[in-house]
């Protein structure tokens, strides 16, 4: 069974600094997607970034980038120039492309941004 592990329950960062959130996953499949979702206090789940496993290039979206290490099954999220609005729960998620698209989520990392 596929599992997703986020080993950092809480992280904090100073405003304008950089922070990296960790995620590891376990799968025997080779074609899959990995995601980072943000859940602010409103509890709406917002897609931050997506990585396709067959692409070697790391995905980037403005201040958000990932470090995808397929062999190590590692998928970390880097937030640059952190802003107060980045404070939220961040969830790493996995889905196998050839399956039913049901996603597996990690337990989440709570990010605090200090002014």
| CB neighbour class for 24 (10 Å; exposed up to 12, middle 13-18, buried from 19) | middle
- The binding track of 21-60 with respect to another protein, each residue x by CB under 8 A or -, is ------------x-x-x----xxxxxx--x----------
Residue with tokens 């590891």: 24
Query: Would you give the DSSP letter of residue 86?
Result: G
Closer CB to another protein, residue 16 or residue 107?
107
Q: Tell whether the torsion through CA atoms of 97, 99, 101 and 107 is positive or negative.
A: negative
Rule CB under 8 A: which of 56-95 touch another protein? Answer: 91, 95
State yes or no: residue 106 binds another protein (CB under 8 A): yes
Longest distance between any two alpha carbons in the chain, whole Å:
44
Shortest separation between residue 115's beta carbon and another protein, angstroms: 25
Contacts with another protein by CB under 8 A lie at 4, 33, 35, 37, 42-47, 50, 91, 95, 97, 100-103, 105-108
């Amino acid at each position: 069974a596929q599992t997703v592990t986020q080993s950092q329950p809480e992280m904090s960062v100073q405003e304008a600094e950089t922070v990296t959130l960790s995620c590891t996953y376990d799968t025997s499949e080779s074609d899959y997607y990995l995601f980072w979702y943000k859940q602010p206090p409103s509890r709406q789940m917002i897609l931050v970034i997506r990585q396709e496993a067959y692409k070697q290039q790391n995905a980037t979206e403005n201040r958000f980038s990932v470090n995808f290490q397929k062999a190590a099954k590692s998928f970390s999220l880097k937030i640059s120039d952190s802003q107060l609005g980045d404070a939220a729960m961040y969830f790493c998620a996995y889905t196998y492309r050839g399956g039913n698209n049901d996603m597996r989520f990690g337990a989440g990392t709570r990010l605090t941004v200090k002014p």
